[in-house]
Structure 1
Amino acid sequence: MNEVKMKNYLMNINGEWVGEGLGTIDVVNPANGQTVGTVPNGGEEEATLAIDAAHEAFQTWSQKTAYERAGYLKRLHQLILDNQEELAQIMTLEMGKPINESRGEVKYAASFIEWFAEEGKRVYGETIPSHISSKRLQVWKKPVGVVAAITPWNFPAAMLTRKMGPALAAGCTVVMKPSGESPLSAVKLMELCEEAGFPKGVVNLVTGSSSKIAKAIMDNAKVRKITFTGSTEVGKILIRQSADQVKRLSLELGGHAPLIVLDDADVEVAVKGVMASKFRNAGQTCICANRIYVQAGIYDAFVEKFSEAVEELSVGNGVDESVDIGPLINQAGLDKVKNHVQDAITKGASVVTGGEAITKDGGVFFAPTVIKDVDQSMVVMQEETFGPVAPIQKIASDEEAVKLANDTPYGLAAYVFSGNVARGTRVIEQLNFGIVGWNDGAPSAAQVPFGGMKESGIGREGGHEGLDAFVESQYVSIGME
């Protein structure tokens, strides 16, 4: 892998690369503590300029046909694929994701642009039968306006394209605010937008202080839509701040995904599914399995085979092609994982494999870990760990599995492994989660709706529902006399 060289990056407002006179934010590779780049430390002024540019550009972008907008998106899609390796390298260096996972994320990111390039052509209105012969009743669909897209560090490319794809396809303009911990992927995507020929102001990128930029976004009436992926705590703040202007919100928030393995499941299939879910991005995903419930009849066999598979995982710098598990994002993330594991041990759980931080090249690593004999008193079963830790609890029945799975304020993703169609259907019907993988540890795709229930969010991203979030319905009654 040819590493991307250290560079001072800029942000892009109204088609211009700006921010040279501002302070900078260091972007640090958590695999070795080295600074791989800097971005401008922008604030309210820069955010306001970006919003003004997006508002001005909206007047013409929204008037383009869906086919014209699709042309820009198709060019962007191809450019992302053409630059897949560079994007993957940037991603691995800025947040530690193993290079093969980064390559997969770039393809995933590109798939949203491709999907919405086509889906934008299917924003259909309606003609409604009238109750009066002299009237014609119609529903028109209009783009909502300027969209602010605020994204997290753990999927720095895909979370942006999942938001900007439908927004641009619908006729909205965008102000992107990536995480300060992994903004370099967003900078590269902005470069590709420029290369794809998007008119000035249609896509803008602002980096810097999250609180200051968010304040400018929430206070500015020109921003009509916020789409945010991040913690439930921040999501609740945005809900409160949006009230004064009744801004539209799409929120993809925290999760605490249960994974249920019933005694009729194929243990090999279940182990494979849990591996795919739990250890992706070192367990730093909002839909990864956080608490595993295995029925007593196959509990010992599952723990044994699962632990054997986990012991085969290699930990290290994501630039190494052989690495399966990269670093955690920072020291705070590592400390949280260590505390969760120690709490479980103190309360009677047993570590089957792993359980310790790994000192390696100045990076922030934790060994892939399996803990058995956990129970609901342990923090790891109550809070999202966001690390490579798999706690396993023994259950007696389907009813207990459902009760424990639903015992959380979150409702993003859940997983069920069962070989019986009727049984699996009954269990899933009782689960209060927006996404369910049935004998499937990797359910995400561009063409399906992604989002949660309860405190895991508002709205859906992806699929045709993902585009609905960026249009308004306008009812028009036409008098014919």
Structure 2
Amino acid sequence: MNTSAAAPINQLVDPYKKTPIRAYPLESFSSANARIDDARTAQQRWQHLPIAQRRELFLNALRYIEHNLDGYASRISDEMFKPLRQARGELEAGLGKLRRIADMAEGALHDTTVAANGQPFAYTMRRVAKGLIYTIAPWNYPFFTALNSIGPALLAGNAVVLKHASTPSVGELFERAFNTMGGISGLCQHLSIDIPTSNRVILESAIDHVVFTGSVAGGAAMAQLVGQRASNLTLREPFLQTSLELGGSDAAYVAADADPVKAAQMLISVGRLHNSGQSCCATKRLFLHQQIAPAFLVEARALMEKQVPGSPHDPATTMGPLFGGPRAVEGLMAMVTDAVAAGATVLSGGKVVEKDGYSFILPTLITGVNLQMKIMREEAFGPILPVMVVANDDDALAHINHALFGLTTSVFTDNAALQDRVIDTARSGTVFINWCNDVHAEVAWSGWGHSGNGMPALSDLGFEALTRTQSIVRALA
């Protein structure tokens, strides 16, 4: 008689229709830890390959993703309701970013000769792989967010273990693409574990760095766990560094000299409504100069009212359901109701509709807001945009840092002096000039304040964050 207990099951359920999406077994801590040990063994071989060879193998591995784009795009749509066209676009754009990251690797990881300044020594500094990187990725951009650490980590000579519980198909995609390269197996593994098991991994397992993208509360929990780990001096690496990229309530200012129609097209279609507004770096607080406000609001309202909510598998859909289900819809409506009760005006949307078995909050434009309203202080993770009209640049600059988040700030102006003032004023990791809601491999990506701990991803600094510095000091004869 077999008395062994069956593995627990994680069941993904559609929060609207209460129907199952996908079930998969959860691993125990001992199983996850064994795979972590396998990854460490693989990493010891991988790190000794020349950078050029790792790059070539990495680029070859991208072919698996290229050949399976449509299938994984469909599964992403099933798991987090992103419209199918947008899911495929995320995979395609992510492939381009991974290629650019690979092109940067040799330059970012080369040894650096340091001037001796008359000392009788030769100085060199080199980048050495940390070892095993633990990436915990979110559901909203499941491929995009995870690749920001997985790409640089592998190219730098690390191995990776990934937790992607809400969109497990993306975890499987990374594992199938990158787990075996150059005949070395175990380099990139997706762990099917729950939160308590993940916490034990951080506290007890032989990992060397944690990358977490998610909520502010989740980031605080990561920091507490890493602090607890530091008391366990039996571990080889008790003092973990973390890369935390958390929420955002990003501000944008459209100045008097901006083209209001072009600015609206960028800020509404890309800045606020892409991915149904479920983006950490989406524009969530908008300041308009009074001279261009009327024209901007006319265009913004038209763009919002053109959106087509519906099933993520309907080609006509431009706005899929919110991942969080009815609770997420209710939370956003509560923000709108709170603002209206305090004197704000709903210019567009502001109501819930039912379609294809889903609930949608229509894209919502709110004017007459003030800084005390929740909608101007807290993160609104969905298609609602509060707008404050200001009399001048000084008023806008006085308000852009009002929220506690610091992911991005945007300004739309051709005035170089004003651009510089915004750059100097903004407390955020990225400042966009006539642009918004985007992530570039070539420059560092980091969150300040409640948006993260400032540890950079991407760019040369992203490689630096996932490696250690080793200094070589040679005495000269």
Contact kept, 8 Å, 2:376 with 2:403, in 1: the verdict is: no
- Counterpart amino acid of residue 373 in structure 1: G
Residues 1:264 and 2:257 are matched in the alignment: yes
Q: Distance in 1 between matches of 2:26 and 2:361?
A: 31
C-alpha displacement at 1:66, in angstroms? 0.9
C-alpha displacement at 1:30, in angstroms? 5.4
Contact kept, 8 Å, 1:370 with 1:391, in 2: the verdict is: yes
Residue in structure 2 matched with residue 233 of structure 1 by the alignment: 217
- Counterpart amino acid of residue 304 in structure 1: V
Contact kept, 8 Å, 1:258 with 1:292, in 2: the verdict is: yes
- Counterpart amino acid of residue 247 in structure 2: G
SS of the equivalent of 1:313 reads coil
Residue in structure 2 matched with residue 190 of structure 1 by the alignment: 175
C-alpha displacement at 1:419, in angstroms? 3.1
Contact kept, 8 Å, 2:180 with 2:186, in 1: the verdict is: no
Q: Deviations over 1:343-396 (max 9, x none)?
A: 111111111111122222332422111111111121111100101101111112
Q: Deviations over 1:228-270 (max 9, x none)?
A: 1111222122223223122011111111101111122101111
Residue in structure 2 matched with residue 479 of structure 1 by the alignment: 475
Residues 1:165 and 2:160 are matched in the alignment: no
Q: Deviations over 1:77-125 (max 9, x none)?
A: 2322222212211111110111221111102221232123222222122
Q: More deviation in 238-247 or 131-140?
A: 131-140
Q: Deviations over 1:315-362 (max 9, x none)?
A: 011111121111111233222111111111111111111112222233
Distance verdict in 2 for CA 1:133–1:408, change over 3 Å: closer
SS of the equivalent of 1:78 reads helix
TM-score (normalizing by structure 1): 0.91
SS of the equivalent of 1:297 reads coil
Residue in structure 2 matched with residue 370 of structure 1 by the alignment: 365
Q: More deviation in 147-156 or 45-54?
A: 45-54
Q: Deviations over 1:204-249 (max 9, x none)?
A: 11023123213222322x2111111111222122223223122011
- Counterpart amino acid of residue 226 in structure 1: V
Alpha-carbon RMSD across the aligned residues, in angstroms, is 2.0
Residue in structure 2 matched with residue 10 of structure 1 by the alignment: none
Residues 1:414 and 2:398 are matched in the alignment: no
The answer for unaligned runs of 5 or more in structure 2 is 231-237
Residue in structure 1 matched with residue 233 of structure 2 by the alignment: none
Contact kept, 8 Å, 2:149 with 2:211, in 1: the verdict is: yes
- Match of residue 152, structure 1, among 138, 156, 160: 138
Q: Distance in 2 between matches of 1:332 and 1:211?
A: 24
SS of the equivalent of 2:192 reads coil
Q: Deviations over 1:176-204 (max 9, x none)?
A: 011x2222222133223357666222111
Residues 1:119 and 2:114 are matched in the alignment: no
Q: More deviation in 291-300 or 43-52?
A: 43-52
Residue in structure 1 matched with residue 234 of structure 2 by the alignment: none
Q: Distance in 2 between matches of 1:33 and 1:398?
A: 49
SS of the equivalent of 1:223 reads coil
The runs of at least 4 consecutive aligned structure 1 residues that moved more than 4 Å come to 29-33, 131-134, 194-198
- Match of residue 324, structure 1, among 318, 325, 350: 318
Distance verdict in 2 for CA 1:132–1:417, change over 3 Å: closer
TM-score (normalizing by structure 2): 0.91
Q: Distance in 2 between matches of 1:46 and 1:205?
A: 12
Which aligned pairs between 1:83-122 and structure 2 lie closer than 5 A? Answer: 83-122=68-107
- Counterpart amino acid of residue 140 in structure 1: R
Contact kept, 8 Å, 2:378 with 2:403, in 1: the verdict is: no
Q: Distance in 1 between matches of 2:266 and 2:283?
A: 10
The answer for unaligned runs of 5 or more in structure 1 is 1-19
State how many pairs are aligned: 460
